[in-house]
Amino acid sequence: MTSNSDDNLTLGRLLHEIAKIWRSRIDISLQAFGLSRAKWDVILMLDTQDNQGISQRDLARLCLVEPPTMASMLDRMEKEGWVERRVCDDDRRSKLTILTTKAKAIRSEIRAASLEVEQEVFAILPAQTYDDIKLGLLQLREALEKTRPGADNNTDEVA
């Protein structure tokens, strides 16, 4: 049942509130590993790089944070033993970030913890509703990325 105040709630605000609650639940579930959701995000992004590493700038873009924020987070994660930064062979001014053995050892566990939170959060919804919401949000994200200022916009395709 929705309250009268919910009638005036915009979809954007509702998405923001749900994301905030979700982040809080993920943070709680990851505390046992000594991680936050932000660090978890970095580990998951680096896990897709096949040990090749990724620049701090690209990692910041993928994690949707500003480069100085990413640099600070990587400093902390390196001190905690989650990541290692190496000088890039092609550009000595750039550093590539890779996962350490410590981070690789818990990848499947933190993915499972994340999945458990997702299942708890969406357990109230019928499977078809979940699938419809996910598809709709994926389409929205794709459309927004294509029209993002500074992005390579391909106006021939519409999501």
- Nearest Cα to 46, choosing from 115, 113, 97, 109? 97
Q: What are phi and psi of 64, to 5 degrees?
A: 60, 45
Which pLDDT band holds residue 2 (cuts at 50, 70, 90)? Answer: low
**Residue linked to tokens 């994660």:** 77
Beta bridge partners of 95: 87
DSSP 32: G
CA distance 144 to 159: 9
Beta pairing, strands 54-55 & 83-87: unpaired
Characterize the bridge pairing of strands 54-55 and 95-99. Answer: antiparallel
In the chain the domains, ranked by start, together with CATH numbers, are: 11-146 (1.10.10.10)
The pLDDT of residue 151 is 55
Note the pLDDT of residue 3.
56
Higher pLDDT among residues 124 and 95, named by residue: 124
Q: pLDDT digit string (tens) for 28-83?
A: 999 989 999 899 999 999 988 767 789 889 999 999 899 999 999 999 999 999 99
In angstroms, the CA 85 to CA 92 distance is 12
pLDDT above 70: residue 111: yes
* Structure confidence by residue, pLDDT tens digits, 8-20: 789 889 989 988 9
Mean of pLDDT values over 92-121: 89
| Residue 87 per-residue DSSP state | E
